[in-house]
Amino acid sequence: MAKKNQLGVTPLSEDVSAWYNELVFKAELADRGPAKGTMVIRPYGYRIWELLQSQLDQRFKDTGHVNASFPLLIPMSYLQREADHVEGFAPELAVVTHGGGKELDEPLVVRPTSETVIGEMYSRWISSYRDLPVLINAWNNVVRWELRPRIFLRTTEFLWQEGHTAHADEDEAMEETLRMFDVYVEFALNVAAIPMVKGEKTPGERFAGAVRTFTIEGMMQDGKALQSGTSHYLGQNFAKAFDITFQDENNELQHVHTTSWGMSTRMIGAVILAHGDDAGLVLPPRLAPIQIVIVPIGRGEQAEAPLAKCRELAAQLEGLGVRAHVDDRDASPGFKFNDWELKGVPLRVELGPRDLEAGHVLVAQRVGERDDKGRPVKETVEFEEFVTGAPERLDAYHDQLVARATAFRDERSGVADDWDTFAELVGRGFAYALHCGEPSCEDDIKAETSATPRCISTEDGFAGEGTCIRCDRPSVYGHRVAFARAY
């Protein structure tokens, strides 16, 4: 058993898994629900989700999408209409067999994803090329029966968004698939401060029912990959299964081409695992419920003036769109410092009688320069300068987290052209290697290294052909495949 620090959390450096589990509870992000595999997202964690939601939703609106809501319960027979889709989801379905005290004629499944109901509705709504494209997104919850749940990373019920679009032809649908893929990449970097490894899934890792699947994979601090968002080109698979047809300009009947794309509450897990440290959470400012916490210092009458100034500063910060909070709890400053560090607040401000006299605050960054006791080096900043400079300071902090995460990822990743290098790299991060594309060969690699193909990397510098890293058959993708152990 790794020994716990004074926060009661196992150090990240000793046991990432224990650290993660304990931190989720201690930071009050979430709790376990009474039924196995369910989670309660607590207000602090839910605020992160709301911030994620609003910023992602804005991007959907900016790319022409509208929101709608579809039913939770789906007739079992719908799932069965697309062969690959049922096969993929059958093992993880929750099925409702009774309603109103009676056994149902046809069981209903609790949606594991909504392709099928939405397919049914699209077939009703679409009849002409003039109806296309249909660009709808849904924010909802889905249920997938998980054998081994982990809060945020893999729970039986989770929250997400699923975009579903229908287009007249393949080109347009592929363009949409890639557009939303780019939105995820950009969002992950600019909001969650996570530089994603991106690319296309190999056939064996594709979404059930998709023709092509694109994925963003984040690197967590234990070197494991976390799939954080996917965008699928579904071809005409669902159009054929649900008879989604339209008449084109030439009066010919055609099936539409559909896409779907999703990002879930798993992203919160990605943020925890990508940025956190021994002291607790480290939240990127654009997802932080509190961006700046202000701690008044002083006792008795001496506390009143600093507290008033703290409130004034907070109001000014709020005026600039900064989420600021004055911690006026009846607790010692030291307690508050540790508490907010545990909760990952980007910036902390201290303001006591001495500071008030001098007209400045002390500013400490959650991640940044440390003194020899491991405590943040506190910067002295004049009141007005601090307030007006706060937005910029938060942006700089965001950039700092990106730089740190990028350096970590790159240091743990590399190109592998021989098996030993491959095995070593995959033990600590991503290995970019050539692959034959055979599912059985993927299985062998998994059995020997526990690594799986995360994506075919189409990024610069990863083009290549040659022989497979494991079996020496010719490589097939024209690009290297990023392999890693994964959540």
Q: What does each C-alpha distance from 336 to 16, 45, 276, 322, 383 come to in angstroms?
A: 25, 19, 18, 20, 21
Nearer Cβ to RNA, position 32 or 473?
32
Q: Which one of 54-62, 169-177, 329-337, 390-398 is the stretch in contact with RNA (CB under 7 A)?
A: 329-337
475 lies in the site for RNA, by CB under 7 A: no
Least distance CB 178 / RNA (angstroms): 17
Question: In angstroms, rounded to a whole number, what is the distance separating the alpha carbons of residues 293 and 462?
Answer: 43
Question: In angstroms, rounded to a whole number, what is the distance separating the alpha carbons of residues 362 and 377?
Answer: 9
Question: In angstroms, rounded to a whole number, what is the distance separating the alpha carbons of residues 485 and 487?
Answer: 7
481 lies in the site for RNA, by CB under 7 A: no
Out of 92, 318, 384, 410, which residue is the one contacting RNA (CB under 7 A)? 92
Residue 3: CB atoms within 10 A of its CB come to: 7
Q: How many residues bind RNA (CB under 7 A)?
A: 65
Out of 137, 227, 449, 475, which residue is the one contacting RNA (CB under 7 A)? 227
| Cβ pair 449, 194 in contact under 8 A | no
17 lies in the site for RNA, by CB under 7 A: yes
- For RNA, the binding residues in 249-308 under the rule CB under 7 A are 262, 264-266, 279, 297-300, 303
Nearer Cβ to RNA, position 366 or 480?
366
Long-range pairs for 330-336: beta carbons < 8 A, 24 or more residues apart = 333/295, 333/297, 336/293, 336/295
237 lies in the site for RNA, by CB under 7 A: no
Question: In angstroms, rounded to a whole number, what is the distance separating the alpha carbons of residues 472 and 466?
Answer: 9
Nearer Cβ to RNA, position 81 or 485?
485
338 lies in the site for RNA, by CB under 7 A: yes
Question: Is the Cα torsion angle 10, 16, 18, 24 positive or negative in sign?
Answer: positive
Least distance CB 418 / RNA (angstroms): 24
438 lies in the site for RNA, by CB under 7 A: no
Residue 201 phi/psi, 5° resolution? -75, 145
150 lies in the site for RNA, by CB under 7 A: yes
| Cβ pair 351, 297 in contact under 8 A | yes
Least distance CB 332 / RNA (angstroms): 3
Out of 45, 88, 218, 289, which residue is the one contacting RNA (CB under 7 A)? 88
Question: Which residues 6+ apart lie within 8 Å of 27 measured at CB?
Answer: 44, 280, 281, 342, 343, 344
Helix (H, G, I), strand (E, B) or coil at 327: coil
What residue ranges bind RNA (CB under 7 A)? 6-8, 17, 21, 32, 35-37, 88, 91-92, 144, 146-150, 153-156, 158, 160, 207, 227-230, 262, 264-266, 279, 297-300, 303, 330-335, 337-339, 341-342, 348, 350-355, 362, 364, 375-376, 378, 446, 450, 487
